[in-house]
């Protein structure tokens, strides 16, 4: 289909990085995201869509596949095809024998475990094209991404391993203390808090043993030092808090599966009272959803009997995920329930099926990934960055306008004439290697879910440090103030320009430019009638083409206090 004509537009940005010399990459990235979200004059450049990915391992051998479902109004789901127009998004028999877990990098690529027991973890584009089946040699029941890393709860080891999404290299691990059972559930909140569960017998033959819920916020050092975390709450055989609340779970115990958390820190856990606890009865086992408050107290629960008919509800559930935009819990139910159920978080009431039962379904992990598409076929973004430090690393995906999600598709290319920066092809970022720099990067895409588009990012950066000025004084209203001096000059890797300002309000507000006061020093030309405050703005530019905005820094404030009462100057006395 022929694309409609869309005009090219240009966005101008200026970003001020103050005192980032000790900041790490993640802090720089977080600053960029926060800054862009509050920049009121920045045009919207992308349309963002949330998708729910659902893994279905089928026979756990060779027939697994992955659904991609568009989230609509109220949390409804609509299946979407891959880049070839086929559904499911990743086909049966395509290489993911028993898919488990899903992570996403800043460039929209997805990472899915090909087999929960033996691995590996595959890298796939957002359009469903398999890039590398053996990207990471690990396996786990859940895989989650955060801040450029992939986290895997490696099978049967109570270990959460960390891998760099850039190249798949191992970056340490932490351990979950106190259980020899499988750690199936893993969720990471937007603020970096980890939630995990342990409590599934590796042989699936018994439901006894320790059941535990973990919550912690690890640092880089924790993964390097292999920190061992204790449970937030735990109990033997039954889910934490179940005995005290007299839940009707037999003494034979229950398994703990998926876990998620809402924005308030409440936790939601799938527990299963398996069928073999009910041999000799008319019951067939139950699936429970348990709600815990942020302190780990069990506060609400609901259950669904695992009957074969009707094929509705969350019976047989494994994965669970909170979706804040619709304030709903999604549950990947089993063979005899919904494909995806919707649950109300406040009271755990069953809303209905977001996706109904299909024959032979076996849904497991749920994960939400957001994707952005440019609203224009051609976009130019002019970006000025101030006071970067040598060694700072910035991702191109965070410099292309107000896109709060990865752009699906496209290939980045660095201009050969770039100076002051080094392009990192591996993770599509650049590293600052000089205090000033000029560069151009182009993202080009043909076809796919976003259609044809080109985004050109013109980047300039320069450092500027304001001077320290001196000259605070008290004068009479009839005496001109003395000239101000510069005790420490401004410093920049570019050419510095100056503008003096004054205010009669305070040292913090009410400033306006002084006409013609554009040198590094200033000598007030006339007397003053009231106390006045002065400061000096120093600016610099990297000298790039096209011309870029200035980076500026503001000096300290000097005060000229005007005394209109005390007699000043020469007094003549005449004697009669």
Return d(Cα 434, Cα 437) in angstroms, integer.
7
Please give the residue that has the higher pLDDT: either 343 or 575: 343
Return d(Cα 523, Cα 271) in angstroms, integer.
77
Please determine, for residue 240, whether its predicted confidence score (pLDDT) is greater than 70.
Answer: yes
Residue 18 forms part of a structural domain: yes
Q: Which of 83-87, 124-128, 317-321 has the highest mean pLDDT?
A: 317-321
Q: Structurally, how many domains does the chain consist of? A: 3
- Within this chain, do residues 411 and 529 fall inside the same structural domain, yes or no? no
Return d(Cα 132, Cα 136) in angstroms, integer.
9
- Within this chain, do residues 59 and 34 fall inside the same structural domain, yes or no? no
- Within this chain, do residues 188 and 287 fall inside the same structural domain, yes or no? yes
Q: Copy the structure tokens of residue 124.
A: 């796939």
Last-in-domain residue among 439, 462, 485: 462
- Within this chain, do residues 40 and 51 fall inside the same structural domain, yes or no? no
SS3 state of residue 34? helix
Q: Where are the beta strands (DSSP E) in 114-246?
A: 121-124, 130-136, 140-146, 149-154, 159-164, 170-176, 186-188, 194-198, 210-216, 228-229, 233-236
Residue 570 forms part of a structural domain: no
Beta carbons within 8 Å of 521's beta carbon, 6+ residues apart: 483, 484, 485, 486
- Within this chain, do residues 70 and 191 fall inside the same structural domain, yes or no? yes
Please determine, for residue 360, whether its predicted confidence score (pLDDT) is greater than 50.
Answer: yes
Average predicted confidence (pLDDT) for the chain: 87
CATH, residue 176 = 2.120.10.30
Please determine, for residue 102, whether its predicted confidence score (pLDDT) is greater than 60.
Answer: yes
- Within this chain, do residues 40 and 60 fall inside the same structural domain, yes or no? no
Residue 572 forms part of a structural domain: no
- The pLDDT, as a whole number, for residue 86 is 93
Last-in-domain residue among 428, 462, 496: 462
The answer to whether the CB of 526 falls within 8 A of the CB of 507 is: no
Residue 264 forms part of a structural domain: yes
- Within this chain, do residues 309 and 358 fall inside the same structural domain, yes or no? yes
- Within this chain, do residues 295 and 405 fall inside the same structural domain, yes or no? no
This prediction has a pTM of: 0.78
- The pLDDT, as a whole number, for residue 265 is 98
Residue 1 pLDDT level (bands cut at 50, 70, 90): very low
Buried b (16+ CB within 10 A) or exposed e, 551-571: bbbebbbbebebeeeeeeeee
Return d(Cα 334, Cα 257) in angstroms, integer.
12
Long-range contacts at 203-206 (CB < 8 A, ≥ 24 apart): 206/252, 206/253
First-last CA distance in the chain:
107
Return d(Cα 325, Cα 14) in angstroms, integer.
30
Residue 314 forms part of a structural domain: yes
- Within this chain, do residues 175 and 217 fall inside the same structural domain, yes or no? yes
Q: Copy the structure tokens of residue 74.
A: 């109220």
CATH, residue 514 = 2.60.40
Q: What is the pLDDT of residues 201-224, one digit of tens each?
A: 888 888 999 999 999 999 999 999
Please determine, for residue 11, whether its predicted confidence score (pLDDT) is greater than 80.
Answer: no
Burial tier of 221 (Cβ tally within 10 Å: 0-12, 13-18, 19+): exposed
Residue 3 forms part of a structural domain: no
Please determine, for residue 250, whether its predicted confidence score (pLDDT) is greater than 70.
Answer: yes
Look at strands 9-16 and 378-386 and give their pairing: parallel
- The pLDDT, as a whole number, for residue 30 is 34
What sign does the CA torsion over 435, 28, 43, 69 have? Answer: positive
**Max intra-chain CA distance, the chain:** 129
State mean pLDDT over 415-419: 96
Strands of 130-136's sheet, edge to edge?
100-104, 110-113, 121-124, 130-136
Q: Tokens 């351990």 identify what position?
A: 175
Residue 552 forms part of a structural domain: yes
Return d(Cα 322, Cα 295) in angstroms, integer.
18
Please give the residue that has the higher pLDDT: either 332 or 398: 332
Please determine, for residue 159, whether its predicted confidence score (pLDDT) is greater than 50.
Answer: yes
Q: What is the pLDDT of residues 323-357, one digit of tens each?
A: 999 999 999 999 999 999 999 999 999 999 999 99
- The pLDDT, as a whole number, for residue 301 is 98
Nearest to 561 by CA among 482, 490, 494: 482
- Within this chain, do residues 457 and 400 fall inside the same structural domain, yes or no? yes
State mean pLDDT over 442-448: 89
Structural domain range at position 535: 467-563
- The pLDDT, as a whole number, for residue 2 is 33
Phi, psi of 514 (to 5 degrees): -95, 120
Q: Tokens 């302190």 identify what position?
A: 295
Q: Tokens 């304001």 identify what position?
A: 466
Please give the residue that has the higher pLDDT: either 565 or 99: 99
How many residues are present in the chain? 576
- Within this chain, do residues 243 and 193 fall inside the same structural domain, yes or no? yes
Last-in-domain residue among 336, 371, 406: 371
Return d(Cα 270, Cα 302) in angstroms, integer.
10
- Within this chain, do residues 416 and 556 fall inside the same structural domain, yes or no? no
DSSP assignment of 456-481 equals EEEEEEE-EE--EEE--EEEETTSPP
Residue 454 forms part of a structural domain: yes
């Amino acid at each position: 289909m022929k694309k409609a004509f869309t005009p090219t537009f240009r966005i101008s940005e200026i970003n001020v990085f103050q005192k980032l010399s000790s900041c790490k990459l993640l802090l720089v990235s977080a600053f960029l995201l926060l800054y862009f979200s509050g920049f009121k004059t920045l045009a919207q450049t992308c349309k963002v869509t949330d998708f729910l990915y659902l893994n279905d391992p089928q026979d756990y051998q060779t027939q697994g596949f992955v659904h991609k479902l568009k989230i609509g109004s109220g949390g409804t789901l609509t299946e979407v095809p891959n880049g070839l127009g086929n559904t499911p998004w990743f086909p049966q028999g395509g290489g993911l024998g028993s898919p488990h877990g899903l992570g996403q990098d800043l460039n929209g690529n997805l990472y899915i475990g090909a087999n929960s027991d033996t691995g590996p973890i595959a890298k796939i584009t957002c359009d469903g094209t398999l890039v590398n089946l053996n990207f990471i040699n690990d396996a786990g029941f859940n895989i989650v991404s955060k801040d450029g890393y992939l986290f895997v709860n490696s099978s049967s080891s109570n270990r959460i391993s960390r891998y760099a999404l850039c190249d798949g290299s191992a970056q340490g691990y932490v351990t979950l203390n106190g259980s020899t059972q499988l750690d199936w559930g893993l969720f990471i909140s937007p603020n970096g808090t980890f939630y995990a569960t342990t409590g599934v017998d590796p042989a699936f033959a018994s439901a006894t043993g320790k059941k535990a819920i973990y919550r912690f916020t690890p640092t880089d050092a924790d993964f390097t030092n292999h920190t061992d975390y204790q449970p937030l709450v735990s109990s033997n055989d039954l889910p934490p808090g179940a005995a005290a609340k007299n839940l009707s779970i037999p003494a034979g115990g229950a398994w703990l599966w998926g876990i998620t958390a809402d924005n308030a820190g409440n936790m939601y856990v799938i527990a299963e009272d398996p069928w073999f606890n009910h041999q000799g009865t008319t019951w067939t086992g139950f699936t429970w959803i348990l709600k815990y408050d942020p302190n780990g107290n069990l506060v609400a629960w609901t259950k669904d009997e695992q009957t074969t008919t009707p094929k509705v509800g969350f019976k047989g559930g494994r994965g669970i995920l909170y979706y804040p935009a619709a304030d709903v819990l999604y549950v990947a139910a089993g063979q005899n329930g919904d494909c995806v159920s919707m649950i109300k978080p406040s009271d755990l009431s069953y809303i209905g099926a977001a996706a109904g039962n299909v024959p032979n379904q076996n849904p497991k992990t749920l994960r939400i990934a957001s994707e952005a598409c440019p609203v224009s076929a051609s976009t130019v973004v002019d970006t000025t960055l101030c006071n970067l430090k040598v060694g700072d690393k910035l991702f191109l995906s965070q410099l292309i306008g107000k896109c709060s999600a990865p752009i699906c598709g496209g290939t980045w290319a660095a201009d050969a004439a770039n100076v002051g920066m080094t392009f990192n092809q591996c993770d599509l970022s650049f590293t600052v290697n000089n205090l000033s720099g000029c560069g151009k990067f182009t993202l080009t895409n043909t076809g796919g879910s976003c259609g044809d588009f080109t985004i050109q990012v013109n980047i300039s950066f320069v450092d500027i440090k304001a001077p320290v000025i001196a000259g605070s004084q008290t004068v009479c209203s009839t005496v001109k103030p003395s000239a101000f001096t510069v005790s420490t000059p401004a410093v920049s890797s570019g050419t510095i320009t100056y503008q003096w300002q004054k205010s009669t309000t305070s040292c913090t507000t009410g400033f306006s430019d002084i006409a013609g006061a554009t040198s590094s020093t200033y000598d007030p030309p006339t007397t003053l009638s009231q106390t006045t405050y002065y400061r000096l703005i120093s600016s610099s530019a990297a000298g790039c083409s096209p011309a870029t905005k200035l980076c500026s820094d503001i000096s300290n404030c000097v005060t000229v206090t005007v005394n209109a009462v005390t007699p000043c100057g020469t007094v003549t006395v005449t004697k009669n």
